[in-house]
Amino acid sequence: MKKKQVSFDAMVKFFMYNYKIPTKRDIDQLNSKLDRIESLIRALPAQTKSSKVKNCESSPQSATQSVLDLIESSKKGISITEVREFTGYNDKKLRNIIFYLNKMGKIVRISRGTYKAA
């Protein structure tokens, strides 16, 4: 009984399929998708840093300064959620800034999550 000969190309295709090795066609498809995504990103309007900080007349030099300015502008105190809405900063960044400002003595904690200038 004779065994059927397997071609080298068939063996390579078998290994590429089983080990999930991408082919040139797969890479070309990914490149075309990336090109489409990049063109969509370029078409988006550019957001500047000044558009993120809403109620500040002058553009602050640092994130810490912008948060401090917001807290100082509030007479009764301001909550973290309000600061997040005004600045657009994420929670981790705001927690670090608040901790730093509190440690420096520039702000005072009124209640949980609410601060005012010292």
Q: Tell me the pLDDT tens digit for each residue of 73-108.
A: 988 889 999 999 988 888 899 999 999 999 999 999
Amino acid at 33: K
pLDDT in tens, 18-74: 999 998 999 999 999 999 998 888 888 765 444 444 554 555 468 889 899 999 998
For residues 60 and 53, the answer to whether their CB atoms sit within 8 Å is yes
* Bridge partners (DSSP) listed for residue 117: 107
Question: Is CATH 3.40.50.10190 the right assignment for the domain spanning 49-117?
Answer: no
pLDDT of residue 60: 46
Distance CA 95, CA 97 (A): 5
Domains of the chain, by residue range, sit at 8-43, 49-117
| Cβ contacts of 82 within 8 Å, gap of 6 or more | 70
